Amino acid sequence: MRVLLVSLNNELLPEPVFPLGIAIIAGSLRQTGHEYKVVDLSFQSPAELIATARKFQPQALGLSLRNVDNVAYPDTTTYIPYYQEVINSLRRVTGCPLILGGSAYSLFPRQLLELLGGDYGIRGSGEKIFPQLLDCLEQGHDVPDEINLYVRQETGCFHGKGRSQPITQPRPDHDCFDLAAYHESGGMINVQTKRGCAFSCIYCSYPLLEGRIPLTRPISAVINELTTLSRNGVNEVYFVDSLFNHPVDYAKELCRAVIKARLPLKWTCYTSPWLFDREFADLCVAGGCLGVEFGTDALSPAMMKNMGKAFTVDDALRASAACREAGLPFCHALLVGGPGETWDTVRETVDNTAATRATSVIFMTGLRIIPNTKLYDISLREGVITPETNMLEPQFYLSSHLTGLTAGVNRLSREFKTWIFPGHSIRCSSYLAGYLRKRGARGPLWLHMAKKPL
Ligand code: B12
3-state SS record for 123-143: CCCCCCHHHHHHHHHHHCCCC
Give the strand pairing for 60-64 and 98-101. parallel
Q: Is the CB of 148 under 6 A from ligand 1?
A: no
In the reported structure, the alpha carbon of residue 103 is separated from the centroid of ligand 1 by a whole-number distance in angstroms of 6
Domains delineated in the chain: 2-159 (3.40.50.280), 179-451 (3.80.30.20)
The residue type of 58 is P
Provide the greatest CA pair distance for the chain: 64
Of all atoms in ligand 1, which is nearest to the CA of residue 12?
77
User: 42 near 358, Cβ under 8 Å?
Assistant: no
Gap from CA of 454 to ligand 1 centroid (Å): 29
**Is the CB of 433 within 6 Å of ligand 1?**
no
Count the residues in the chain. Answer: 454
Atom 63 of ligand 1, nearest CA residue? 67
Percent of the chain with pLDDT strictly greater than 70 = 98
pLDDT at position 454 is 44
User: Which residue puts its alpha carbon closest to atom 88 of ligand 1?
Assistant: 205
Atom nearest to 370 CA in ligand 1: 83
pLDDT at 452: 52
pLDDT per position as a tens digit, 103-117? 999 999 999 999 999
Question: Can you tell me which atom of ligand 1 is nearest the CA of 238?
Answer: 8
Question: Are 167 and 128 in contact, with CB atoms under 8 Å apart?
Answer: yes
pTM given for the model: 0.96
Buried b / exposed e along 229-238 (16+ C-beta atoms within 10 A): bbeeebbbbb
Report the nearest-CA residue for atom 40 of ligand 1: 102
> What b/e string do you get for 32-60 counting C-beta neighbours within 10 Å, with b at 16 or more?
bebebbbbbbbbbebeebbebbeebebbb
Tens-digit pLDDT string for the chain (454 aa) = 999 999 999 998 888 999 999 999 999 999 999 999 999 999 999 999 999 999 999 999 999 999 999 999 999 999 999 999 999 999 999 999 999 999 999 999 999 999 999 999 999 999 999 999 999 999 999 999 999 999 999 888 999 998 877 678 899 999 999 999 998 888 799 999 999 999 999 999 999 999 999 999 999 999 999 999 999 999 999 999 999 999 999 999 999 999 999 999 999 999 999 999 999 999 999 999 999 999 999 999 999 999 999 999 999 999 999 999 999 999 999 999 999 999 999 999 999 999 999 999 999 999 999 999 999 999 999 999 999 999 999 999 999 999 999 999 999 999 999 899 999 988 887 777 777 877 878 778 888 865 654 4
